[in-house]
Structure 1
Amino acid sequence: MLEAWPFERLPGFGFGFELDWTHLYCARNGAWFLDNFIHAFMIVQADKYHTLLPSLHTPSTKKGNRVPPSTLSLLTGTTEDLFFLPLNINNNHWTCILVDRSSQTLYCYDSFDKRSNQNLLAKVAEELKRKSLLESFQIVAVHSPIQKDSDNCGLFICLFVWRRFFKEAGSDNTATGLQRRRWDLLRTIVSFSDTSKAKETATPYGHDDGTASAAAIQTAEGVVAFVLEQKSRLAVELLQTCANEVREQFDSGGCVRGSFLSSFDGQSLLDYPIKFSFLLDTKTDPDA
Structure 2
Amino acid sequence: MADIEDEDEFDDLLELLMTNWRNVRQRKMPTSSGADNTAMVASTASTRKNGGAKDDRQLAEDAKVEFDMSSGDSENLPDEDEMEKKVPIPGGVDIDLNEQAAPTIRLNPKAKKVGAPRKSKTVTQAGDKSDRKWYQQAEQGRQQAGEVTLRALADALAREMPSLVDTQCRLSGVIVKFSSAESKKPKLRMLKNPVVTMDPFYLLPPKLLDACMKVLSVANTSECAIEVDGSQETRTVAKKDQVETVVIKDVGNYSRKQIENFVRIQNLKTVVQLGLELHKWLTIEGIPALPAKYHDVANQVAAQVLETYPYTQIDCLPALPDFTFSMLYRAIPPTWLSDASIRALCVRLTHDFPSCRFAGFQDAVPHKTRTRRSSAAPVSREIQDRVFQQVAEEGVECVLLPLNFHNTHWCCLVVVVSTQRIFYYDPLNQAVHLKAANAIAQHLKISGLQAYDVAAQNNPIQFDAFSCGIYVCWMFIRHVVRGPPLDMSANALPRRRFELFFYLLSGRLLTREEAEQHEAEAAEEDEKMPAPPAASNADEEEDVPLTQVAK
* 1:56 maps to amino acid: F
Which of 388, 399, 410 is the matching residue for 1:76?
Answer: 388
Which residue does the alignment assign to 2:470? 155
Q: What are the Cα deviations for residues 79-132 of structure 1, in whole angstroms up to 9, with x where unaligned?
A: 222011010113211000111111111001001111111111111011112223
State the match for 2:325 in structure 1: 21
1:71 maps to amino acid:
I
**Correspondence 1:165-244 to 2 at 5 A:** 165-166=480-481, 170-192=485-507
Q: Which 10-residue stretch deviates more, 13-22 or 71-80? A: 13-22
Matches within 5 A, 1:39-78: 39-50=343-354, 51-59=356-364, 63-78=375-390
4+ residue stretches of structure 1 with deviation over 6 A? none
Q: Scaled by the length of structure 2, what TM-score is found?
A: 0.33
Structure 2 match to 1:123: 439
The code of the aligned residue for 2:500 comes to: L
Classify 1:115/1:178 alpha carbon distance in 2 versus 1 (closer, same or farther; 3 Å). same
AA paired with 2:406?
N
Larger deviation, residues 2-11 vs 14-23? 14-23
How many Å apart are 1:64 and its aligned residue? 4.6
2:453 to 138, 148, 168: 138
1:60 deviation in Å?
6.3
**Does 1:164 pair with 2:164?**
no
In the other structure, the counterpart of 1:253 is none
Letter in 1 for 2:340: N
Match of 1:9 in 2: 313
The one-letter amino acid paired with 2:337 is F
1:48: Cα distance to partner? 1.3
Does the CA-based 8 Å contact 1:27-1:186 persist in structure 2? yes
**CA distance in structure 1 between the aligned counterparts of 2:344 and 2:451, rounded to whole angstroms:** 33
* Correspondent of 2:402 among 73, 86, 91: 86
* Secondary structure in 2 matching 1:163: helix
Within 2, Cα distance between the matches of 1:132 and 1:12? Answer: 35
User: Counterparts of 1:60 and 1:89 in 2: how far apart (Å)?
Assistant: 6
Partner Cα distance (1:17, 1:48) in 2: 22
Task: Supply the AA of the counterpart residue of 2:381.
Answer: P
Greater gyration radius: 2
- Residue identity in the other structure for 2:357: L
Residues 244-263 of structure 1 mapped to structure 2, 5 A cutoff? none
Q: Do the aligned partners of 2:414 and 2:423 also contact (CA within 8 Å) in 1?
A: yes
Secondary structure, in 3 states, of the residue corresponding to 2:363? coil
Q: Which runs of 5+ in 2 are unaligned?
A: 1-304, 367-373, 509-551
1:203-225 deviation line (CA, Å, top 9, x unaligned): xxxxxxxxxxxxxxxxxxxxxxx
Partner Cα distance (2:337, 2:326) in 1: 12
Alpha-carbon RMSD = 2.2
The whole-number CA distance in structure 1 between the counterparts of 2:479 and 2:421 is 14
Report the counterpart of residue 424 of structure 2 in structure 1: 108
Partners of 1:64 and 1:138 in 2: CA distance: 23
Conserved 8 A contact 1:82-1:98 = yes
Q: Which amino acid aligns with 2:382?
A: S
Change over 3 Å in CA distance of 1:137–1:107 after alignment to 2: same
Deviation at 1:3, TM superposition (A): 1.1
Equivalent position amino acid for 1:36 in 2:
A
8 A contact 1:57–1:88 mirrored in 2: yes
> Aligned partners of 1:137, 1:170: CA distance in 2, in Å?
24
SS of structure 1 residue aligned to 2:503: helix
Is this contact kept in 2: 1:110–1:117, CA < 8 A? yes
Cα distance in 1 between the residues matched to 2:412 and 2:425 = 5
Q: For the Cα contact (< 8 Å) 1:7–1:22, is it kept in 2?
A: yes
RCO comparison, higher one (Cα < 8 Å, 6+):
1
Distance 1:63 1:8, change over 3 A: farther
Contact 1:6 1:22 in 2 (8 A): yes
For residues 480 and 398 of structure 2, the distance between their equivalents in structure 1, rounded to whole angstroms, comes to 11
